[in-house]
Chain A
Amino acid sequence: MTKLIKSGAYAQDVYAPVADDAALPDGPVLVSLARFHKDRDTLLARNTPVGIRLQSSENPEQLGQDVHHFALIALEFPKFRDGRAFSWARILRTRLGFTGEIRAVGDFLYDQVNYQHRVGFDAWEVPDNFTIEMFNRALTEMTNVYQPSADGKKTIRELRAAR
């Protein structure tokens, strides 16, 4: 089983994942890119939030302006070594100005959560034994950062200049 961590706390996952060939249920849904392409107009005409789940090979830029129709973009880590989603999240936040939820799903490690947080993820689908305390620890192991990212955190260079 998995749980959802959002805004630093466990949260209810309201999105129903929908298989590509299944009928759309009522309420918020989570669909693949293929499904979105197929049923774009229907999905956008519904009055409920739509989430999209992108594989690590799917660049969110190809969504173009549609990106702003989504309330949730779930980025998949097929295996923890595949770090493409770090760039996708960064692009979503910094370039495309996406303000909805970016959720990490799939195979990632405790030790990657802080990097994910920095590049713009704000929700995590975690295994049952992943506690809030672990989550908070992951984000605080390293106090300062050397480079700007999507978290807006002041860099060490800026801290030095402000001394």
Chain B
Amino acid sequence: MLNTLVKQVDPNMYRYDEFDAQFVGERVEQFAGQVARRLSGELTEDQFKPLRLMNGLYLQLHAYMLRVAVPYGTLSSKQMRKLAHIARTYDKDFGHFTTRTNLQFNWIKLVDVPAILRELADVEMHCIQTSGNCVRNVTADQFAGATDEEIEDPRPLAEIIRQWSSLHPEFVFLARKFKIAVGACEKDRAALLYHDMAVQIVKNAQGRIGYKVMAGGGMGRTPYIAHVMSEFVEREDILAYLEAVLRVYNQDSRRDNIHKQRIKILINAIGPEEMRKRVAREFDEIKRAGTLQLPQDELDRITAYFAPPKFETGLSDEMPEAGTDFANWVKTNVSKHRAPGYAIATITLKTPGQVPGDATSAQMDIIADLMDQFSVGEVRVTHEQNLVLPHVRKKDLPAIYAKLKELDFAAPNAGLITDIIACPGLDYCDLANARSIPIAQTIAKKFENLDRQHQIGELKIKISGCINACGHHHAGHIGILGVDKKGVEFYQLVLGGSGAEDASIGEIMGPGFGEHEIADAVERVVNVYIAQRKDGERFLDTYRRLGMAPFKDAAYEKAAA
């Protein structure tokens, strides 16, 4: 329910000017025309498919799924309320936050899509390029603008990339999809190294700010960690450099085997050295043409939209006391903010038993109220399918916590074993081999005991319902991959992955476990860690020290008995 007492706050974020508004408006009408041609039969499904995909519309097992872009994960309360309204009016009253920081509606009717797009355009949102073989929604560190670890806020660059890549005529029919992420600190919360291309804001030896560019990371059936393409690209050259990478990819990628058409395959086939050479040559050419330079005043203009809010001064930096439950939540879900007296609060959409990433319209409305009351009208969506209130006063945290408890979103588990990423899996996805959501729910229930979760510490479980790896299982400390064995769902364990700055690809343990065995197998693996860990080691550290053998022995031990 919309709380009429809450005054809507407009956060400092990018605002459409008349050009952006016209662009999105015309794009909506263009797509409405495409839908009309499909409904009339003028377009076949085969012809309509790439067009609808470029606008985030999938045909799933039961219905159309519409994916709404949340650029670099930043949402205003007004936008959140609109998403709630759409869920209520056109869907089954809920939405799903994805690992690409987008929001998906799972039960959409094709005839309603133009109306939904018009409603989204009203709040400066769209579905452009949320699917299809083009540059997808640009993601960024969810603590952008709030953490003191960053060199600068990465979102202005992400916005510049969003604009440059929107309906880029050369790159809307790439060999495959292309995902870009932007980060601005050593700590990597955006899984940069698992992206087709990633930009990290860095300072060079002279103290000048520029960009480190990496490419060729990815999940899917052939996971790779990205290679560095350039250690330092000057600010004004960044779009020229990104265009160079994309052009080499568009020209040279295979087109004969859909499983070998991502940029990671190209780079690992020709080698990173050769790729750097080809990119450097294109880059020189594009620079010479001189039309893609990013002027400082444009960067400044976009940056101004993201100015930090006016932080109150003189606030106490002490964490308020409000009982043990609150203290536990603070331990995992509250992070250090750049301003004294402020904090960053993570709302995990992962209370054990919940579907990871799902929120009902009522929950979205209340979160919108929390955003207005406590976080300058702003929230961030994370690739771990959580939400973040980026700018909250420490003294407001108890009130926020109390409200989240009512919402059943107060699980004190950010980064813990029950903060699980799971793809939609066989419950929704027509590519799936196995269900992901019920497995996530079972594991979360098994480890529900909070003391135990805290005792286990940081442990990231990531579940995919098939080899496409939308649930990031390669990057899970414990990854789970659904496979199909003669019509029966099985689950393989993958250990030792990481999507952070210490990125690594998990190793497959061996044959899979049945749906009733997998949670127990996870437990036995965790028990090995508890028994063998040395002080301060996370699960991942112990695994890296010991290797697969002891975990494997334990996991199969009981399963065989």
Binding site for B on A (CB under 8 A): 56-57, 59, 80-84, 86-88, 90, 94-95, 109, 111-112, 114-116, 118-119, 141-149, 156-157, 159-161
Contacts and interface: CB of A to CB of B under 8 A. Distances in A.
Nearest to A94: B289
A83 B173 contact: yes
Interface string B25-54: 011011001100000000000010011000
A94 B173 CA distance: 20
B298 A157 contact: yes
A149 B239 CA distance: 13
B17 interface: yes
Interface of B: 17, 19-20, 22-23, 26-27, 29-30, 33-34, 47, 50-51, 133, 163-175, 239, 247, 250-251, 255, 285, 289, 291-292, 297-298, 301
Leading 4 A-B pairs by shortest Cβ distance: A83-B173, A118-B169, A115-B169, A148-B291
B291 A119 contact: no
Nearest to A89: B170
A114 B169 contact: yes
A119 B291 CA distance: 14
Contacts of B169: 86, 114-116, 118-119, 145, 147, 149
A145 B34 CA distance: 20
Contacts of A144: 19, 22-23
A83 B250 contact: yes
Given A86-B171, A88-B251, A147-B292, 6 more contacts: A83-B173, A83-B174, A84-B250, A86-B170, A111-B34, A147-B168
A142 B289 contact: no
A57 B255 CA distance: 9
Contacts of B168: 146-147
Given A86-B169, A112-B173, A119-B169, A147 B164 contact: yes
A109 B172 CA distance: 13
A161 B22 CA distance: 17
Nearest to A82: B255
17 contacts: A57-B255, A59-B251, A80-B50, A82-B255, A83-B173, A90-B170, A94-B289, A109-B51, A111-B34, A115-B173, A118-B169, A141-B26, A147-B239, A148-B292, A149-B169, A149-B170, A156-B163
Contacts of A119: 169-170
A145 B172 CA distance: 14
Contacts of A141: 26, 29-30, 33
B167 A146 contact: yes
Contacts of A142: 23, 26-27, 30, 167
Nearest to A137: B33
Contacts of A95: 285, 289
Nearest to B290: A148
Contacts of A146: 23, 163-164, 166-168
Q: Which of B19, B50, B163, B175 has the most CB of A within 10 A?
A: B19
Given A142-B30, A147-B164, A87 B23 contact: no
Nearest to B249: A87
Given A81-B133, A86-B250, A87-B247, A111 B51 contact: yes
Contacts of B34: 111
A44 B34 CA distance: 45
Contacts of A143: 22-23, 26
Contact of A115 (B163, B166, B172): B172
